Amino acid sequence: MTIPQFRLSVLDQSPVPEGLTGADALRNSIDLAKLADRLGYHRYWVAEHHATPLIACTSPEVLIGPIAAATSRMRVGSGGVMLPHYSPLKVAENFSMLSGLYPGRIDLGIGRAPGTDQRTAFALQRDRRQIAPDDFPGLLAELIAYLNDRMPEEHPFARLSKTLPGVPEIPEVWLLGSSPQSGIWAAELGLPYMFADFIQPGGAGIAARYRAEFAPVDHLKSPMTSVAISAICAPTDEEAWRLSASGRMIYYLLQTGRLAAVPTVDTANRFLAEQVGDSRAVPPGRRFVVGAPMTVKAQIDAVAREYGAEEVMVVTIVHDHQARRRSYELIAEAFGMC
């Protein structure tokens, strides 16, 4: 087996299996991170979602610390922090602390989406007199200025960069997205860029534009592209397809605004047969990388080439945690990582 020309990493959404609790899901995330560290995955990111029975992690910065403490080699970070909910200074302080505790291992992936419904997004606001403005570019610029000690001297917050607790360590900042605008901002700011193909497939043109327009700033001298995909690997194509029923049901529910914990395969197959009319149905507009090790490897290779990516992040949603562990093991073996 040959070593891949790109890095493989994990995006963990801390899925909550039907019949278990959010606390179980968070413990599963730490368990999976330990495995990924041993298998040779490059980085491990945890997501931010709010008010959903499907996903347990509402606060990546809280989960990053325990995962970094339980592992020794991987980079650990957020995929991502939904910046519009927060003060840039508070985010800078949180990730400065983590960087000081785990030097050279912390990533700060930043997203613009709310990670929830509009009502919950409003509940997350500190000031509820009106809906918060869409001022993401300003928030992002302020955050980067804190972390890189680039705040103009005349700015009233200029001295705050000097007070970050983890200095001189800083996190590696990434911009996350699934739209052309996110790629444009990443290029303008000289940031590495992660495209969420599992949300919006077909972003190769956005990634190509990011690379073409990239302007070197600070530490990154050339563009760096990662693509996050949904993948399930099992010993056989048929077993992987069987396991994928849970995720396929979830995507159909999301299309109609319904939320649920990750269903069992049996529950999912009944739903797909009764509600969709086909237990093997695939939600339109989604890319599912599903199959035996060589099947999945070939598809991951193809996605990496499509995006010109230096890194592929894999997110796996299945009901059984042991099947999720096994999926990442088989992918690592297929790429000769272990």
- Residue 1 in domain: no
Distance CA 194, CA 226 (A): 4
Does the pLDDT at position 86 exceed 70?
Answer: yes
Amino acid type, 236: T
pLDDT of the residue at 4: 58
Point out the least confidently predicted range of 95-99, 116-120, 177-181, 270-274: 116-120
Distance CA 174, CA 244 (A): 29
Does the pLDDT at position 290 exceed 50?
Answer: yes
pLDDT of the residue at 129: 86
pLDDT of the residue at 121: 84
CB atoms within 10 A of CB 337: 17
Q: What residue numbers bound the domain in which 321 lies?
A: 7-334
Distance CA 105, CA 152 (A): 28
Q: What confidence tens digit (pLDDT) does each residue in 132-143 have? A: 888 899 999 999
Q: In the predicted model, what is the mean pLDDT of residues 274-303? A: 93
Q: How many residues appear in the chain? A: 338
Domain tally, the chain: 1
Q: In the predicted model, what is the mean pLDDT of residues 84-97? A: 96
| pTM exceeds cut of 0.85 | yes
**How much is the CA Rg of the chain, to the nearest whole Å?**
20
- Confidence at 123, pLDDT banded by 50, 70, 90: confident
The distance from CA 261 to its chain's CA centroid, rounded to whole angstroms, is 19
Share of the chain above pLDDT 70, in %: 99
Distance CA 152, CA 275 (A): 58
* Three-point CA angle 92, 49, 193, nearest 5°: 55
Question: Which residues partner with 194 through β-bridges?
Answer: 176, 226
CA distances, 313 to each of 99, 155, 281 (Å)? 22, 38, 25
Does the pLDDT at position 212 exceed 90?
Answer: yes
Instruction: At 120, list the tokens.
Output: 């919950």
- Residue 2 in domain: no
pLDDT of the residue at 2: 47
CA distances, 306 to each of 27, 176, 314 (Å)? 35, 18, 16
Question: Phi and psi at residue 226, in whole multiples of 5°?
Answer: -125, 150
Mean pLDDT of the chain: 94
- Confidence at 157, pLDDT banded by 50, 70, 90: very high
Q: What confidence tens digit (pLDDT) does each residue in 1-27 have? A: 344 589 999 999 999 999 999 999 999
Q: What CATH number has the domain bearing residue 209?
A: 3.20.20.30
For 31-37, the CB contacts below 8 A with 24+ separation are 31/321, 31/325, 32/321, 32/324, 32/325, 32/328, 33/67, 33/70, 33/71, 33/74, 33/76, 34/70, 34/71, 35/325, 35/328, 35/329, 36/10, 36/71, 36/74, 36/328, 37/71, 37/72, 37/73, 37/74
Share of the chain above pLDDT 90, in %: 84
Distance CA 94, CA 62 (A): 9
